[in-house]
Amino acid sequence: MWNSEPTNRQQQNGNTTSGGQPAKQLGMTSAISLAEPRPEDLQRTEELSKSLEPYNVFESQDELNHRMEILAKLNTLVKQWVMEISISKNMPEAAAEKLGGKIYTFGSYRLGVHHKGADIDALCVAPRNIERSEYFQYFFEVLKKQPEVTECRSVEEAYVPVIKMNFDGIEIDLLFARLSLKEIPDDFDLRDDNLLKNLDPRSVRSLNGCRVTDEILALVPNIENFRLALRTIKLWAKKHGIYSNSLGYFGGVTWAMLVARTCQLYPNAAAATLVHKFFLVFSRWKWPNPVLLKHPDNVNLRFPVWDPRVNASDRYHLMPIITPAYPQQNSTFNVSESTKKVILTEFNRGMSITDEIMLGRVPWDRLFEAPSFFYRYRHFIVLLVNSQTADDHLEWCGLVESKIRLLIGNLERNPHIALAHVNPKCFEFKKGLSGNNSQNNSGNEDEQKQMSAAQTQSSVTTAPFCSMWFIGLEFERSENLNVDLTESIQNFTEHVIVHGVNIKMLKEGMTIDARHVKRKQLSLYLDADFLKRERKSMENHTNFNNTMLANRKRLSSELAQSQEPLPPGQQSQSSSRGAKGQRLSESLTEENSNASSDMGAQTPTTPTSSQTSGPNFKTTQAATPIGKNGNDVVCLEGAESSQQDQMQQPPPHNNGNSSNTTAEVACS
């Protein structure tokens, strides 16, 4: 009932005919290719599965059974609570026992792709005689009394109200939906659109997770291949820092829909091939054309749906990926111009690496190695979130994280900022870092004195709890240009504080600070050993990138030679030479000429070298708070860049700092 195994209907969708073709078309269009896996594709898939094991993406059977037991206990608690509330409303006990109530799962657990220690997204469904207020008042107290439950907190005012808790070591987010039904049977299917009649919007939003997850499983031709490919893509996205819906990247359901669309386009492909085709398809997608898993349902229950023909705001969505269940919504409405550029860069990078993997030149582990975020940029904004207690800090960090995308939008509106790249990882500030010497100093005595002065003048924080987010900045190429970030920062911090007051969250000691720092000043905030590892990671990535470029040039040369006409007397070599040329051509020049009308085969618009190449920076001043106590002005002046700071970045986008300009930062 709560496991991640497919239903009978979902298993039927994976059946194939005797000819190897899908029993029915899944998706908006016909498939691009119905080719069966080749032996080398199966070998790559086996290698892929083994490469995932060290990353703890698979749970043991005992761990799976533990989750099942927890969900069974929750389901029993729900039934008992519904019965007790109903009896308290003078309902006969015999009738109250039949009302039911049920726990449904959705998200990564329901899809069968959760990793070790992952949380469970669940939904409590109750009959019509149970009110939402009773769930957040009485059932919340029931949960708090359970000996297995810790860290139980209610977030009733959220857009999708939820109870968060740790149940016997497993984090659970439990939503609530009240249906217009007298009873909730155990075999109840939530995919029936008629269930949404007369429901309040919060219940519809709560039901949406389960309905979307079940639709995704029903729309893929082979569930096992889908799961292995999705595990791979989710791990890749997390390692490359593009897995966060709240910060403007893609969330779990979005990645699931993209992998599902790839499965529809290549229904018979092995998992390794699906991963390769995933990058091929979406590195060439013609955004903002939407990604759809099926034709929208012809349902009109007066709930808002994504439709740019009707809703003007939907026309401005940059990378629309539409959920398959009514009411259809865009799961990527938070994507900004900066996060779009970052995602497209990673798509292209993934395409280049999987090309090498499928040719057997590099192992799958290379796909999960990302270049260092902190050596990709020269200027950063660091957000420091301070609190006095652990509980306050948890709530305060959650609010700030949900608002960071507003700061990204403010920065993007500055005409001199080409990219504002937020790192989704939240760093905890460790006391004593300000006394460490950075391993990134060039050795110049003046610079070391400046760093020492910065450490003396700037105490990062005195709060007992401090978390940090980093935003990397790239500036448009220009000379003698002043960039004032004060207004962007102040608008953001004021908005967060006002919102905290409005929802009665802001308490004494809760503060938010934004500072401009340069790369060489990062040791004030981050551990020196961590920064050394980051630098080594970037060097390894640069070396691999150079090797990959050389291989691509050689492959191009071999492809050109394979297409030359053979001289007389060498016709016997034509068969093997032609086969080799075909493989090389697939790797280097494959196009989606048969792609569906919702995709298109042209390369999407992505940042050019001049747009993404940020200036080189020469540190002359200490990290300075901005947005609170003064102006932050970045002055770009023409000069020669230092040899030490020049970085090489992978194609097709140059996110490096190879321009011949430097930036001087004057902060008052």
The answer on pLDDT for 447 being more than 60 is no
The pLDDT value recorded for residue 559 is: 74
Q: H-helix or E-strand containing 150? A: strand 149-155
The pLDDT score that the predictor gives to residue 568 is: 57
Domain limits at 130? 58-216
How would residue 7 be classed by pLDDT, with cut points 50, 70 and 90? very low
pLDDT at residue number 320: 98
Token pair 């799958």 is found at 364
Do the annotations mark residue 234 as ligand-binding? yes
In a domain, 573, yes or no: no
Q: What was the pLDDT predicted at 205?
A: 93
108 annotated among ligand-binding-site residues: yes
Most confident of 87-96, 281-290, 473-482: 281-290
Based on the domain organization, do 402 and 468 belong to the same domain?
Answer: yes
Q: What is the CATH classification number for the domain harbouring 234?
A: 1.10.1410.10
Among residues 40, 36, 45, the alpha carbon closest in space to that of 16 is found at 36
Q: What is the mean pLDDT of residues 437-460?
A: 50
pLDDT at 659 over 50: no
pLDDT at residue 635 is higher than 70: no
Q: 2 near 105, Cβ under 8 Å?
A: yes
Residue ending a domain, choose from 495, 530, 565: 530
Domains held by the chain: number: 3
Instruction: List pLDDT tens digits, range 155-184.
Output: 887 788 999 999 999 999 999 999 999 999
In a domain, 595, yes or no: no
Q: Give a yes or no: residue 144 inside a domain.
A: yes
Q: Say if residue 444 is exposed, middle or buried (CB neighbours under 10 Å; 0-12, 13-18, 19+).
A: exposed
pLDDT at residue 44 greater than cutoff 60? yes
**pLDDT for 433:** 54
pLDDT band at 564 (very low <50, low <70, confident <90, very high): low
Q: What pLDDT does residue 156 have?
A: 85
Residue range 13-23: mean pLDDT, rounded: 44
Q: Tell whether 396 and 517 lie within a shared domain.
A: yes
pLDDT at 358 over 70: yes
Catalytic annotation, residues? 108, 119, 121, 173, 234, 243
Query: Any idea what the CATH number is for the domain that residue 407 is in?
Result: 3.30.70.590
Residue 622 in this model has a pLDDT that exceeds 60: no
**End-to-end C-alpha distance for the chain, whole angstroms:** 62
CA dist., res. 376 & res. 423, Å (int): 12
The one-character DSSP state at 158 is S
pLDDT at site 566: 56
Mean pLDDT check: name the lowest of 330-339, 350-359, 379-388, 623-632. Answer: 623-632
Residue of higher predicted confidence among 598 and 416: 416
438 is in an annotated binding site: no
CA distances from 493 to 268, 337, 509, 667 (A): 51, 21, 15, 18
Whether 504 has a binding-site annotation, put simply, is no
Q: Are 291 and 322 spatial neighbours (Cβ–Cβ below 8 Å)?
A: yes
Q: Are residues 351 and 399 in the same domain?
A: no
What mean pLDDT comes out for the span 201-215? 94
667 occurs within a structural domain:
no
614 DSSP 8-state letter: P
Predicted confidence at residue 186, as pLDDT, reads 86
Let me know if residue 14 belongs to a domain. Answer: no
| Residue 76 within any structural domain of the chain | yes
- pLDDT reported for residue 27: 84
Is residue 210 domain-shared with residue 232, that is, in the same domain?
Answer: no
- In terms of domains, do 240 and 340 share one? yes
**57 annotated among ligand-binding-site residues:** no
Q: Confidence class of residue 460 from pLDDT cuts 50, 70 and 90?
A: confident
DSSP string, 511-564: EEEEEEEEGGGGGGTS-HHHHHHHHHHHHHHHHHHHHHHHHHHHHHHHHHHHTS
For residue 26, the model assigns a pLDDT of 81
Q: In this predicted model, what pLDDT tens digit does every residue of 78-94 receive, in sequence order?
A: 999 999 999 999 999 99
Does the annotation place 252 within a ligand binding site? Answer: yes
pLDDT band at 129 (very low <50, low <70, confident <90, very high): very high
User: Does residue 207 share a domain with residue 92?
Assistant: yes
Q: For the segment 360-369, what is each residue's pLDDT rounded down to a tens digit? A: 999 999 999 9
Q: How confident is the model at residue 297 (pLDDT cuts 50, 70, 90)?
A: confident
Which amino acid does the sequence have at 460?
V
Structural domain includes residue 632: no
What is the rounded CA–CA span in Å between residue 495 and residue 10? 46
Tell me: do 193 and 233 sit in the same domain: no
Both 453 and 499 in one domain: the answer is yes
C-alpha to C-alpha distance for 344 and 351, rounded to whole angstroms = 11
Average pLDDT over residues 313-322: 96
**Domain harbouring 66, CATH code:** 3.30.460.10
198 confidence band (pLDDT: 50, 70, 90)? confident
* 119 annotated as a binding-site residue: yes
Q: What is the pTM of this model?
A: 0.80
The pLDDT of residue 560 is 77
Are 165 and 149 spatial neighbours (Cβ–Cβ below 8 Å)? yes
* Domain match, 467 and 422 both: yes
**How far apart are the C-alpha atoms of 556 and 299, rounded to whole Å?**
51
Residue 409 annotated as binding site:
no
Tell me the pLDDT band of 143, cut-offs 50, 70 and 90.
very high
Choosing from 363, 398, 416, the residue where a domain stops is 363
Are 343 and 604 in contact by the 8 Å Cβ rule? The answer is no
Q: Does residue 448 carry a pLDDT above 50?
A: yes
332 and 469 fall within a common domain: no
Instruction: Say if residue 244 is in the same domain as residue 191.
Output: no
pLDDT in tens, 392-421: 998 899 899 999 999 999 999 999 999 999
Has residue 206 got a pLDDT over 70?
Answer: yes
Confidence (pLDDT) at 414: 92
pLDDT at 8: 43
Point out which residues pair with 512 in neighbouring strands: 385
Contact (Cβ atoms closer than 8 angstroms) between residue 658 and residue 613: yes
Question: What does the mean pLDDT of the chain come to?
Answer: 81
**How far is it, in rounded angstroms, from Cα 527 to Cα 525?**
7
Contacting residues for 379 by C-beta, under 8 A, at least 6 apart? 472, 473, 475, 516, 517, 518, 519, 614, 617, 634, 663, 665
Please indicate, yes or no, whether residues 65 and 187 belong to a single structural domain of this protein.
Answer: yes
- Decide if pLDDT at 626 tops 50: no
- State the pLDDT at residue 541: 82
173 marked as part of a ligand binding site = yes
Q: Which of 185, 216, 247 is the last residue of a domain?
A: 216
* Among 213, 250, 211, 214, residue whose Cα is nearest residue 234: 250
**Least confident piece of the model among 114-118, 163-167, 197-201, 585-589:** 585-589
**What pLDDT score does 554 carry?**
79
Residue 49 lies in a domain: no
pLDDT at 608 over 70: no
**pLDDT band for position 542 (50/70/90)?**
confident
pLDDT score, position 245 = 94
